[in-house]
Amino acid sequence: MKKQVALALAAAFTLSVAGTALAAPANPFVDVPANHWSYDAVNKLVKAGVVSGYGDGTYKGDRTLTRYEMATVVAKAMANSEKADAETKATIDKLQTEFASELNNLGVRVSNLEKNASSIKFSGDARIRFQENNSLQGNSNNGPDRSRFQERIRVNLAADVADNLKFNGRLRWESQSNETTSTEPRSKTAAVQFDIANFQYTNGGFGLGIGRFEPTIGQGLMLKQDNIDGFTTSYNFDKNVKLTGYLVDVSQAQNNNLWVDGNSATKDAHNAYIADLAVKVSPVVNATASYLGTMSGDNYRYRNWAVGANAKLGLFKVTGEYVKNNYNMDGITSPQRDAWWGKLEYQGTDWKKPGSYGLSVEYYNIGKNAIDGSLTALDYSTFGVGIKGWQYGFEYMLAKNAKLRGFVGDFRPYDKGISNYDFNTAYTLQTEFRF
C-alpha cells in the first residue's frame, strides 16, 4: 500500500506539471462540477490537517478540478489517514469510493468491497456521569438530596441520499440511578430511540429540513435542546450571515411535555416557531439574534427574543446572551421575565491532544418566567423558581478521544422575597468518549 501511495503522489506531481496536455483519448480530465459535495469534503480534510492544499495551497480557487486532480488529493489523504479521527476517516472513505476508478488508474488499489460499501457512515460517543444534588434543592424544602449515576451511549448515522440530500440520525440509550422525581431511590433505563432523525436538502445557500433536530438557538440560553420535531429552513446570504427558521413541536419527541404551567399538574403540548440569525462580525466575533414563540396551549406561553455574542480573545473565549419573555398571562405582567448569562473560558481541550485542558466560569441570572428551564443550556433539573449564581468547570483530555469534565454549581433563588427555596451546591463529574 505504501508503494502504491508513493506512486500516486508521483503521479499527482506529474499531473500538476503537465496539466491537460496529458489528457488521454478517453478524456479522463472531466471536470468535477463546482457544486459537487467532494469540494466541501476536501475542505474538511484541509481543516483537519490531513492534506495541505493543491498547487497554490487551495483546492477550488477560481476553477473546477478534474476527477484525476481530485483523485490525487484523495490519495494524499489516504497516505495521511493515520492522522485522522473517526469522522475524518469516514470522509476519506467516502471520497475514496467516489474516485475509485481514478485512484486505480493512479496505482492506488481500491477493493470492490470498499467501492461498494454502504453510504451510511457511523460515529458515536459515550458518557458516564456522577451528580450530587442536581435538583439544587438538597435537604431543603423536603426535597431529596441524593447522588446518582447516569450512563449514555449515542450512535450517529449520516448518509448522502443524493448530491443535495442528506440524512442525519442518532440512536441514544440512557440509564440513571436514583431518579430525582421519586421520593424513594430507584433506577430508570430509557429505551433505545432515535433522538435525531432528519433529512436536509441544500441548494446553494438555501437549506430545507424535515424530521427531528437538535438545534442551539442563539448562544444556547433560550434553547439548546435535542428532540424537537418539525420543519426547518435556512439561507446563507454569504459566508458571514445565516438565517434559520423552525416550525416545530417541542413537547412530544420523548413523550415529555416541556411547555407546561409551573403551577399546574396539566401538561399541554405546544408548537413553536423560531427564527435565528447568526452573523460573523469578524474572524473572532460572532453575534446572534433570536426569537421563539409558542403557538398553542392555555397555561404557559413564551414570546421570547434574545441577543448574544461570543468572541475569541487569544487563549480566552467570552460568551454572553440576554433573553426577555414578552408574553403576559391574562394581560397581567408577570415578574421575573428577564434572563442573562455570561461565560469566560480559558484555553480548551482538543480531542486529538492528550493533556490539553480548559477552565470556565459562568454566571446565570434567570427569572422564573423568562425561559423554560427544560430547554436551556444550564443542565439542572429543577427550575420551579428563578435562580441566579455561578457555575465553575474544568475539562482535561485523559487520552485521545477520552475527556474528563467537572462542574460545581453554586446558586440561590432569584428573589427570596418570592421563594422559600434554599439551594445547595451541586457537583458533577463525568467522563466522555468518542469513537
Residue 260: is its pLDDT beyond 60?
Answer: no
Contact criterion met (CB below 8 Å) for 141 and 133 = no
What pLDDT is recorded for position 403?
97
Q: How far apart are CA 389 and CA 411, in angstroms?
A: 4
Q: Which one has a higher pLDDT value, 155 or 18?
A: 155
Residues 378-432: pLDDT tens digits?
666 555 577 889 999 999 999 999 999 999 999 888 776 655 566 788 899 999 9
Percent of the chain with pLDDT over 90: 34
Q: Which amino acid is at 205?
A: G
Residue 433: is its pLDDT beyond 90?
Answer: yes
What pLDDT is recorded for position 412?
84
Percent of the chain with pLDDT over 70: 69
Please give the average per-residue pLDDT across 315-330, as a whole number.
86
Q: Which amino acid is at 108?
A: V
The pTM score is: 0.69
SS3 string of the chain? CHHHHHHHHHHHHHHHHHHHHHCCCCCCCCECCCCCHHHHHHHHHHHCCCCCCECCCECCCCCCCEHHHHHHHHHHHHHCHHHCCHHHHHHHHHHHHHCHHHHHHCCCCCCHHHHCCCCCEEEEEEEEEEEECCCCCCCHHHCCCCEEEEEEEEEEEEEEEECCEEEEEEEEEEEECCCCCCCCCCCEECCCEEEEEEEEEEECCEEEEEEEECCEECCCCCEECCCEEEEEEEEEEECCEEEEEEEEECCCCCCCCCCECCCCCCECCCEEEEEEEEEEEECCEEEEEEEEEECCCCCCCCEEEEEEEEEEECCEEEEEEEEEECCCECCECCCCCEEEEEEEEEECCCCCCCCCEEEEEEEEEECCCCCCCCCCCCCCCCCCCCEEEEEEEEEEEEECCEEEEEEEEEEEECCCCCCCCCCCCEEEEEEEEEC
Residue 8: is its pLDDT beyond 60?
Answer: no
Residues 50-83: pLDDT tens digits?
776 544 445 544 567 788 788 888 888 888 777 7
Please give the average per-residue pLDDT across 266-289, as a whole number.
84
Mean pLDDT of the chain: 77
Please give the average per-residue pLDDT across 89-116, as a whole number.
72
Beta-carbon contacts of residue 223 (< 8 Å; ≥ 6 apart): 215, 216, 217, 274, 290, 292, 375, 376
Contact criterion met (CB below 8 Å) for 232 and 246 = yes
| Residue labelled with grid coordinates 436538502 | 201
Tally of CA atoms within 13 A in the half-sphere of 219 that contains its CB: 26
Q: How far apart are CA 269 and CA 71, in angstroms?
A: 52
What pLDDT is recorded for position 35?
76
Q: Which one has a higher pLDDT value, 1 or 251?
A: 251
Q: Is the Cα torsion angle 252, 258, 259, 262 positive or negative in sign?
A: positive
Report residue 98's pLDDT band, with 50, 70 and 90 as the boundaries. confident
Q: Are strands 223-224 and 228-238 parallel, antiparallel or unpaired?
A: unpaired
What pLDDT is recorded for position 402?
96
Please state, in angstroms and as integers, the Cα–Cα distance from residue 14 to each residue in 7, 53, 69, following that order.
11, 16, 11
Report residue 244's pLDDT band, with 50, 70 and 90 as the boundaries. very high
Contact criterion met (CB below 8 Å) for 435 and 401 = yes
Strand partners, 78: none
Task: Pick the range with the lowest mean pLDDT from 187-196, 260-269, 380-389.
Answer: 260-269
Residue 2: is its pLDDT beyond 70?
Answer: no
What pLDDT is recorded for position 358?
97
Q: Which amino acid is at 66?
A: T
What pLDDT is recorded for position 187?
57
Burial 170-199 (b: 16+ CB within 10 A, else e): bbbbbebbbebeeeeeeeeeeeebebbbbe
Please give the average per-residue pLDDT across 181-192, as a whole number.
59
Locate 141 and state its grid cell: 424544602
Contact criterion met (CB below 8 Å) for 362 and 393 = yes
Domains annotated for the chain, with CATH where assigned, are: 2-115 (no CATH), 121-434 (2.40.160.10)
- Count of CB atoms within 10 A of residue 255's CB? 7
| Residue labelled with grid coordinates 442525519 | 168
Contact criterion met (CB below 8 Å) for 410 and 428 = no
What pLDDT is recorded for position 246?
93
